[in-house]
Amino acid sequence: MHLHEVETIGRDALADLQVRALRATLERARRSPFYGRRLAESGLGPQDIRSPGDIRRLPVTTKDDLRAEYPFGLVTCPREELIRLHASSGTTGASTVVFHDRQDLDNWSDLVARCMYMVGMRPGDVFQNMTAYGLFTGGLGMHYGAERLGCLTVPAGPGNTQRQIKLIRDFGVTALHIIPSYALHFAGWLEREGIDPGELTPRIALIGAEPHTGEARSRIESLLDLKAYNSYGLSEMNGPGVAFECPEQQGMHLWEDAFLMEVVDPETLEPVPDGEPGELVLTTLQRHAMPILRYRTKDITRILPGDCACGRTHRRIDRITGRSDDMFIIKGVNIYPMQIERVLLGIPEVGQNYLIILDREQDIDQLRVKVEIKAEHYRDDPAAMAALHRHIIHRLRDELLVTPGLDLMPPRSLPEAQGKAQRVEDLRPR
Amino acid sequence: MHLHEVETIGRDALADLQVRALRATLERARRSPFYGRRLAESGLGPQDIRSPGDIRRLPVTTKDDLRAEYPFGLVTCPREELIRLHASSGTTGASTVVFHDRQDLDNWSDLVARCMYMVGMRPGDVFQNMTAYGLFTGGLGMHYGAERLGCLTVPAGPGNTQRQIKLIRDFGVTALHIIPSYALHFAGWLEREGIDPGELTPRIALIGAEPHTGEARSRIESLLDLKAYNSYGLSEMNGPGVAFECPEQQGMHLWEDAFLMEVVDPETLEPVPDGEPGELVLTTLQRHAMPILRYRTKDITRILPGDCACGRTHRRIDRITGRSDDMFIIKGVNIYPMQIERVLLGIPEVGQNYLIILDREQDIDQLRVKVEIKAEHYRDDPAAMAALHRHIIHRLRDELLVTPGLDLMPPRSLPEAQGKAQRVEDLRPR
Ligand SMILES: [Zn+2]
Ligand SMILES: [Zn+2]
């Protein structure tokens, strides 16, 4: 496994490659019932694609489309060619599913292996996969990538911190896949047990599966004494392996040979300029069994302008700052929960947990933030506490442009985030 | 994937193949620290192997050996060639681990795919893997085998019965991998929900990971309206894919091109005649990264004499009737818990759950069995209950040669077995 030459391809050659891949994708997609109709209605055929931007002549595909076409409406091939599915795990309500054939799994494994290689993983590395296997795409996705790369893979699965530590020690684990909230929990556990992370062997953590801030990442890096790299993916686009940080840690290279990227205004669906936040819309360029065209990810990010010092030409996206459907509006200002996390975790006195409370008073939405203060800073000194309160309020107002309510809470008084963090309590009447 | 011609190889040709494979295995094994010493001590070299039986010139390998050599003492290759490990999951006490290189995983996947092909699974089948992934070898082992064969694999993982049913229905699942105790739980759930298993699509269940009786299998088949095939494996020998039932359902063909089989007296370690019960001892014939020679599985079985009607020449083992270390002795008679299950589940009035209680009175070990009676048979009629009590006692005595204590219990009064059944309560003082 070497740095794939496609990662440093010139932009013009990349556009040519995308045009060819897009034509092939349309050719395959129209074999499915759903895109057969969509493409016929739009009148767009493979031969009409002359530049990557021509994809905009098609309507977007939404999660509701996937739900309506569940289970087989987007499948392009005979059933006996399918070898994997990943489905949303709910038992009630509408479901979504993604199918893969053998070549899809091969391509997916390659993309994940490229991410791992990019951040320095090599054969001889020992990779502990600390996330759930099964229908969740993060577990099997990273597992296949690490085996493709040739790392010794420890399929630990999630939870059982004591066992995780034993495995890390016994096998000299050098790289972890861990979700950010569990990484923070894990670091807290090490501290309580008096284990110095500097004595542990991991030097790399792949963190993804839930949006998190740069501040959360910095904490993970310093608490665990390793480098943590941000991973972006979603099950509709395979899972992990869509975009990943390089060693520069300045944004995530999105693999543009495998995915065509747009960033659009969530209201108008018009493209926003590079550098401006918008909703990420993705088109698969390699998928066989189930291509998806112009999928609205709901994830808010922006394209980072300029070249990356690492030399890769694939454009970078910023970390996900929210979901277009978890935005809320306070006093006319659009606010994403991730903005609040970014502020809070950048303040040294603030502990691991916080809660965002949305309520309504006299028909006006109100924002209140409860935040744990670290033990060494939570003191019986009203003046000091008032100063800290003012400081946090100022920082929040600078970021949000509104002034929220704020409660300073004693250490360990808020629910600890395990798994995907649930940090927002919405008490507004429906 | 076709029926591999090695499955119908003549016995002489198989012996030749085993000799060659055994020589290569010894050649590799002696690169590991442990077998380097063992083989030097025994003076046995690859060139000394002239028949498969020559392996008996080596001492057996035990779980204690694996524990003492944990983690790397049996590894034959450089670390960077390893790509998978499976370790026992305990956090206290001694651990064991098995390492695989890429060819080991390929061979393992082939063996599992052969099992699946043997019982009629083909590309186009939809395979729901209802066991745990991660360090447990059953999940990833079956997953890789099904993908190798080309079945559409649903990585459901264990538990959440309602979701399992939804996946089965939504994707037209035709084959399940499920552990026997969960299969019985699952059947009970269907019955309570009023779901007719005849309306569900699965026609094949692969059941393994815990020993069970033919009677438990029959119940699973009739309750779920499918054919259930017994799977045998253990993590030291990869996991699943060691031995598997063919459509005849008369014993499990042990893949003798991949494993050299002995059945020995657990006390003397001398071979027992075909047809006689003893402890299964296995030698890997294909493993690269970590061959194991003459491994004491602790599993009690017997070689079934005679040819199988299916035409495969690989010898069959009977279902596992116990563990050499869970045998207990009552009034001088050797008894395995599986013998008791076999009797109980063959009695139509008996429900799903039972408990075997071992106690000691005046220095003599006592056996007592508590058994749930099905609702329709548990009546307020002392004479009928006494007759049923006598009937069960007779059946147990016929099998065990001793008369245990027996309590008939109301339905649902005993703990329901979930996961690996824990049916023995040992109250004897240590
Ligand atoms: Zn870069
Ligand atoms: Zn047979």
What are the domain boundaries of chain A?
328-426
**Residue B308 tokens, joined:** 């199988």
Confidence bin at A1 (pLDDT 50/70/90): very low
Q: Cα of B249 to ligand 2 centre, how many Å?
A: 7
- Reference A1, options A173, A204, A151; nearest CA is A151
Decide if B413 touches A, using CB distance below 8 A.
no
Cα of B128 from ligand 1 centre, angstroms: 40
Of B71, B80, B124, the CB nearest to A171: B71
C-alpha span between B163 and B241 (Å, rounded): 27
Of the candidates B71, B79, B140, the beta carbon closest to that of A155 is on B140
pLDDT at A181: 85
| Cβ contacts of B55 within 8 Å, gap of 6 or more | B22, B49, B260, B262, B283, B293, B294
CA of A4 relative to ligand 1 center, distance in Å? 14
CB contact under 8 A, B134 and A156: yes
What would the pLDDT profile of B278-295 be if each residue is shown by its tens digit? 999 999 999 999 999 999
Task: Point out the least confidently predicted range of A306-310, A320-324, B58-62, B240-244.
Answer: A320-324
Determine the Cα–Cα distance for residues A167 and A183; give it in Å rounded to an integer: 16
Q: Which residues of A touch B135 (CB under 8 A)?
A: 154-157
- CB-nearest partner of B83 from A133, A147, A170: A147
Q: How many CA atoms lie within 13 A of B364 on its CB side?
A: 8
What pLDDT was estimated at residue B419?
Answer: 43
> A108 pLDDT exceeds 50?
yes
DSSP annotation string for B171-222? HT--EEEE-HHHHHHHHHHHHHHT--GGGS---EEEE-SS---HHHHHHHHH
Of A208-212, A219-223, A390-394, A409-413, the least confident:
A208-212
Residues of A in Cβ contact (< 8 Å) with B69: none
**Residue A273 pLDDT:** 96
CB-based contact A369:A345 (threshold 8 Å): no
Nearest one of B92, B97, B99 to B67, comparing CA atoms: B97
Q: Three-state DSSP class for B155?
A: coil
Q: A367: closest CA among A358, A378, A379, A377?
A: A358
Residues A236-259, mean pLDDT to the nearest whole number? 97
Q: DSSP code of B160?
A: -
Classify A216 as helix, strand or coil.
helix
Question: B75, B77, B91: which to substitute to probe chain A, counting the most A Cβ within 10 Å?
Answer: B91
How distant is the Cα of B141 from the closest Cα of chain A, in angstroms? 12
Convert the pLDDT of each residue in B261-273 to its tens digit: 999 998 899 999 9
Residue A3 scores a pLDDT above 70? no
CA B349 – CA B77 distance, rounded (Å): 56
pLDDT band at A417 (very low <50, low <70, confident <90, very high): low
> Is residue B45 pLDDT above 80, yes or no?
yes
Average pLDDT over chain A, rounded to whole? Answer: 92
DSSP codes of every residue in A355-403: EEEEEEETTEEEEEEEEEEPGGG--S-HHHHHHHHHHHHHHHHHHHSS-
Interchain proximity B152–A95, CB inside 8 Å: no
Q: Is the Cα torsion angle B326, B331, B334, B335 positive or negative in sign? A: negative
In this prediction, residues B313-339 reach a mean pLDDT of: 85
What's A144-210 look like in SS3? HHHHHHCCEEECCCCCCHHHHHHHHHHHCCCEEEECHHHHHHHHHHHHHHCCCHHHCCCCEEEECCC
- Contact status, residue B74 vs residue B66, Cβ threshold 8 Å: yes
Chain B residues with CB under 8 Å of A166 CB are 91, 95
The verdict on a CB contact (< 8 Å) between A97 and B139 is no
Report, as an integer, the average pLDDT of B45-68. Answer: 96
- The answer to whether B139 contacts A133, with C-beta atoms less than 8 Å apart, is yes
In angstroms, what is the span from residue B114 Cα to ligand 2's centroid?
13
Q: How far is CA A355 from CA A98, A207, A372, A429, in A?
A: 34, 22, 9, 19
- DSSP secondary structure, B386-408, as one string: HHHHHHHHHHHHHHHSS--EEEE
* Å from CA of A315 to ligand 1 middle: 9
Predicted local confidence at residue B92, as pLDDT = 61
The minimum CA-CA distance between B287 and chain A, rounded to whole Å, is 16
Question: Is the separation of the CB atoms in A278 and A265 below 8 Å?
Answer: yes
CA–CA separation, A220 and B180 (whole Å): 42
Residue of B nearest to A162 (CA): B91
Dist. CA B119 → ligand 2 center (Å): 10
Q: What percent of chain B has pLDDT over 90?
A: 77
Are the C-beta atoms of residues B382 and B389 closer than 8 Å to each other? Answer: no
- Separation CA A402–CA A366 (nearest Å): 10
Q: Predicted confidence band at B166 (pLDDT cuts at 50, 70, 90)? A: very high
Distance CA A412, CA B79 (A): 42
Q: Tell me the pLDDT band of B417, cut-offs 50, 70 and 90.
A: low
Please state whether the peptide bond connecting residue B71 to the residue before it is cis, i.e. omega within 30 degrees of 0. Answer: yes
pLDDT, tens digit (0-9, with 9 covering 90-100), for A355-377: 999 998 888 888 999 999 999 99
A66-96 per-residue burial string, b: 16 or more CB within 10 A, e: under 16: beebbbbbbbbbebebbbbbbbbeeeeeebb
When CB atoms are compared, the residue of A84, A150, A157 closest to B153 is: A84
Taking CA atoms, B311 is separated from A219, B14, B307, in Å, by 63, 14, 8
Band of the pLDDT at B420, cuts 50, 70, 90? very low
Centroid of ligand 1 to alpha carbon of B19 (angstroms): 54
pLDDT at A255 over 80: yes
Q: Measure B343 CA to ligand 2 centroid, in angstroms.
A: 26
Cα of B91 to nearest chain A Cα, Å: 5
A39 CB-side CA count, 13 A: 25
Distance CA A307, CA A253 (A): 11
What is the Cα–Cα distance from A281 to A272, expressed in whole angstroms? 12
A-chain residues near B167 (CB < 8 A): 87
Q: What is the largest CA-CA distance in chain A?
A: 72
Those of residues 51-90 in B touching chain A at CB distance below 8 A are 70-71, 79-87, 89-90
| Nearest Cα to Cα of residue B160 among A240, A136, A131, A98 | A136
For chain B, first and last CA: distance in Å?
Answer: 53
Cβ within 8 Å, pair B170-A71: yes
**One-letter identity of residue A307:** D
Rg for chain A, CA atoms, rounded: 22
pLDDT band (50, 70, 90) for residue A420: very low
SS3 state of residue B354: strand
List % helix, strand, coil for chain B (3-state, nearest 5).
35, 25, 40
Token look-up 């021509």 returns A54
Q: Compute the distance between CA of residue B28 and CA of residue A206 in angstroms, rounded to an integer.
A: 35
- Report how far ligand 1's centroid is from the alpha carbon of A123 (Å): 22
User: Is pLDDT of A90 > 70?
Assistant: no
Shortest distance, CA A174 to any CA of chain B (angstroms): 13
Q: Number of C-alpha atoms within 13 angstroms, CB side, residue B399?
A: 18
Whether B379 contacts chain A with CB within 8 A:
no
**For the stretch A307-333, what's the b/e string if a residue is b when 16 or more beta carbons lie within 10 angstroms of its beta carbon?**
ebebebbbbbbbbbbbbbeeebebeee
* Residue B99 scores a pLDDT above 70: yes
CATH code of the domain occupying A328-426: 3.30.300.30
b/e sequence A121-135, b meaning 16+ C-beta within 10 Å: beeebbbbbbbbbbb
Token output for B92: 């206290």
Question: Could you tell me the strand order of the sheet in which B295-301 lies?
Answer: B259-264, B278-284, B295-301, B322-323
Choose the mutation target among A1, A70, A81, A83 for the interface with B, i.e. most B CBs under 10 Å.
A83
Task: Check A89 against B163: CB less than 8 A apart.
Answer: yes
Q: A147: distance to nearest CA of chain B, Å? A: 6
Region of B413 on the Ramachandran plot (φ > 0 left; ψ -120 to 50 alpha; else beta): alpha
Please report, to the nearest 10 degrees, the dihedral formed by the alpha carbons of residues B315, B319, B324, B330 taken in order.
-130
Rg of chain B's alpha carbons, rounded to an integer?
22
Going by C-alpha positions, the residue among B54, B45, B51, B52 that lies closest to residue B27 is B45
Structure confidence at residue A329 (pLDDT): 82
CA distance A82 to chain B (A): 5
Alpha-carbon distance A122 to A108, whole Å?
A: 18
Closest CA to A231 of A219, A215, A249, A218: A249
Write out the H or E segment, with its range, that includes residue B262: strand B259-264
**β pairing state of B328-330 and B333-335:** antiparallel
CA distance A242 to A220: 22
Return the H-helix or E-strand segment holding A20: helix A11-29
Residue A89 pLDDT class (50, 70, 90 cuts): low
Average pLDDT (A136-153) is 97
In this prediction, residues B381-402 reach a mean pLDDT of 92
Using CA atoms, how far apart are residues A341 and B338, in angstroms rounded to an integer? 56
SS3 B123: strand
| B336 Cβ contact list (under 8 Å, min separation 6) | B300, B321, B322, B323, B326, B327
> What is the mean pLDDT of the segment spanning B297-305?
95
pLDDT tens for A314-334 read 999 999 988 887 778 888 777
Say whether pLDDT at A309 is over 80: yes
Confidence of residue A239 (pLDDT cuts 50, 70, 90): very high
pLDDT of residue B142: 98
Q: Sorting pLDDT into bands at 50, 70 and 90, what band is A415?
A: confident
Number of other CB atoms surrounding residue A198 within 10 Å: 8
* Average of per-residue pLDDT across B228-234: 96
Average pLDDT over residues A225-237: 97
H helices within B33-136, ranges in order?
33-42, 63-68, 102-118
CB-side neighbour CA atoms (13 Å) of A183: 32
Statement: residue B2 has pLDDT above 50: no
